[in-house]
Amino acid sequence: MLSTVIRSARAIKARPNVSAVRAFSSSTCRRQEIVPTSLNVFSDEEVMLRETVQRFANDVVAPKVREMDENENMDPSIIKGLFENGLMGIETSPDQGGAGMSFTSAIIAIEELAKVDPSVSVLCDVHNTLVNTVIRKYGTEQQKDKWLPQLSESKLGSFCLSETSSGSDAFALKTRAKKDGNDWIINGSKMWITNSYEAEIFLIFANVDPSKGYKGITCFIATKDMGIKIAKKEQKLGIRASSTCTLDFDDLKIPEENIIGGEGKGYKIAIEILNEGRIGIAAQMLGLAQGAFDKSVPYTYQRKQFGAPVGTFQGMAFQFSQAAIEIEAARLLTYNAARLKEEGKDFTKEAAMAKYWASVVAQNVSGKAIEWAGGVGFTRETGIEKFWRDSKIGAIYEGTSNIQLQTIAKFIQKQYS
């Protein structure tokens, strides 16, 4: 599905676009001046991807959202559909089964899925922006050729960093790995691990030399059939269809060849990847806010009181305007961070800003959306209340809101002190 979209978009892209650049030439030189564009300008590939994800979300995901939420279980057909539509290897090279698209394309997919179900969105997000990216960025060519086709075509991935004693202080982890000939033996446990119930491929962070502190942390690839045990599946307030589990590793044997990036490089991998992941969570919260807005506002123009649609009352209209401004600000922060990342520029501060603000907006707008719809919004039938429940996690995972503010404050201090 996605490969067809990409081919069509690239055919369009191949056509000359004289309005995009102005060329100046002389006998000695030729120069092209790039015309600046807004953050609302997307490539043909990105536009077509958005349309593809919108159709999948509305036609395939939407009918199953309430059932999945009530059952606290991801429908296997949804995961299969994500793979079949090419949404699980968005940035991965076509040579390794992926779509070969931009980072912004992944952010678009995450946003569009979240407009319908943030649970499906975060499954796609973690798989693309964390698991795939680690292997694509730090893996050897042999590792990429072995694991990326599987992750693009059929096998869900999970990122295993957090533990009971290492949440915001991620590098206080206690999971240990000891060398045993050509293998490593891992013992310990992980907590709050997204996708872990359905995943078949896991990135596990463990310390190979505690005397070195965080410089002993190493990233390993493992598969569920190696002996990964699901100790507990959490029952959560929101994103209930997204699995969150505690995992136990009891003498888990992993071959030497499954180390990613080299011994002791796990801390560097985690820091860099989580910066990218925060843009993904920002996109999820952005889509969530827009989804709640889109569900609630139309109802207010149908519901009449005192002879007029309640949405036309000034008190309501002004709240809509405020929410729309907040959503647009979150969108600009999110896509600015994504484009900076693509340009190879530092985006750590911008990613923190995007995640922080999008999480705030998601909670504000989804909460207001319930009130706008009145008693109907408070029922589970409309699905509006689910957006509010799902929004609460945005201020917690992949770095709490306080961690984002701390990160931003460090940049401010560096600039002004």
Residue 206 forms beta bridges with which residues? 218
CA–CA gap between residue 87 and residue 125 (Å, rounded): 10
b (16+ CB within 10 A) / e for 110-134: bbbbbbbbbbbbbbbbbbbbbbbbb
| DSSP annotation of 43 | -
Which tokens sit at 302?
A: 């149908």
Going by C-alpha positions, the residue among 178, 201, 163, 320 that lies closest to residue 256 is 178
b (16+ CB within 10 A) / e for 324-352: eebbeebbbbbbbbbbbbeeeeebbbbbb
CA–CA gap between residue 167 and residue 234 (Å, rounded): 16
Query: Would you say 92 and 132 are in contact if contact means Cβ atoms under 8 Å apart?
Result: yes
User: Hey, CA dihedral for 238, 154, 291, 102, is it positive or negative?
Assistant: positive
Helix (H) or strand (E) holding 33: strand 30-34
CA–CA gap between residue 97 and residue 146 (Å, rounded): 11
Query: Would you say 220 and 178 are in contact if contact means Cβ atoms under 8 Å apart?
Result: no
Query: Would you say 45 and 94 are in contact if contact means Cβ atoms under 8 Å apart?
Result: no
Going by C-alpha positions, the residue among 342, 347, 350, 346 that lies closest to residue 105 is 342
- Give residues with Cβ within 8 angstroms of 306, minimum separation 6: none
Which tokens sit at 383?
A: 């699905």
Query: Would you say 340 and 354 are in contact if contact means Cβ atoms under 8 Å apart?
Result: no
Strand, helix or coil for residue 30: strand
Catalytic entry in 112, 276, 326, 398: 398
Active site residue 141: no
CA–CA gap between residue 114 and residue 109 (Å, rounded): 9
Which tokens sit at 309?
A: 């649609």
Helix (H) or strand (E) holding 245: strand 244-255
Query: Would you say 135 and 221 are in contact if contact means Cβ atoms under 8 Å apart?
Result: yes
CA–CA gap between residue 111 and residue 127 (Å, rounded): 15
Residues labelled catalytic: 398
